[in-house]
Amino acid sequence: MAEGTKERILRTALELFAQNGYLGTSMNDIAGQLGFTKAALYKHYASKQEILDKIVERMNKMDYERAEVYEMPETEPDGFAEAYLHTPIQKIRTYSLAQFDHWTKEPFSSNFRKMLTLEQYRDPKLAQLHHDYLAGGPLEYMAAIFRKLADSDEDAMQLALEFYGPMYLLYSVYDGAEEKEAVSSLLATHIDRFIAKVEAGYRAEAAGTAVLKIPVAVLQESCFQLAINRIF
């Protein structure tokens, strides 16, 4: 029963944080929404900060579990490029679409995203969480993956920006859209076009006419090359 109550508190608090902001929600607000006395709420969580800490802990656990389900490589940042080099692009595509669903359709994750979006300019700690989960963190993650597919760190970051930028934009588009599945379809189309562009870069590199330079040595092993016959 106690675990069920603690879970209910977390979800209710996060719903309020998403609506009113973390800073705009008090322990009194959470207790009132739950129909608890403030004293009863404090029996489960000593402070609003403790509730936030547990929410972040839950998000980290969900990230790890999702990566396991989709069989994504688990490694330190320096090893991303090598690990993903041998991961079929269709698997990365599927995982990227699952990530979008996670941040838009799963209530807990979606509310966490909305809370961070509200608070990113008002609180340094929440701004850092927004960076890590939704902005610079994912961008740097993708750049690390692309590092083996580009001649320089700058080119890798450009690829990451081209890939992730539209996804980040579509989170907000999704929230306000009446036809939400159409937004998910937009993302799928974007990813497919990105893959086609990178594949074209490989072909041009092989033909000696590349505009986007990607090492020929990578061509034979890359996840994009492994998937070429499945995509086209």
Shared-domain flag, residues 158 and 77:
yes
What phi and psi, each to the nearest 5 degrees, are found at residue 37?
-80, 160
Shared-domain flag, residues 108 and 222:
yes
Structural domain contains residue 62: no
* Residue pLDDT, tens place only, 116-144: 999 999 999 999 999 999 999 999 988 98
Q: Which range among 1-5, 14-18, 29-33, 103-107 shows the weakest confidence by mean pLDDT?
A: 1-5
Structural domain contains residue 138: yes
Shared-domain flag, residues 198 and 87:
yes
Shared-domain flag, residues 136 and 48:
no
Q: CATH number, domain at 21?
A: 1.10.10.60
Tokens for 210, please give them. 């590349």
Structural domain contains residue 130: yes
Q: How far is CA 56 from CA 37, 92, 109, in A?
A: 25, 25, 10
Number of domains composing the chain: 2
Its domain, for residue 32, covers 1-57
Structural domain contains residue 141: yes
* Residue pLDDT, tens place only, 73-117: 766 656 666 666 667 778 888 999 999 999 999 999 999 999 999
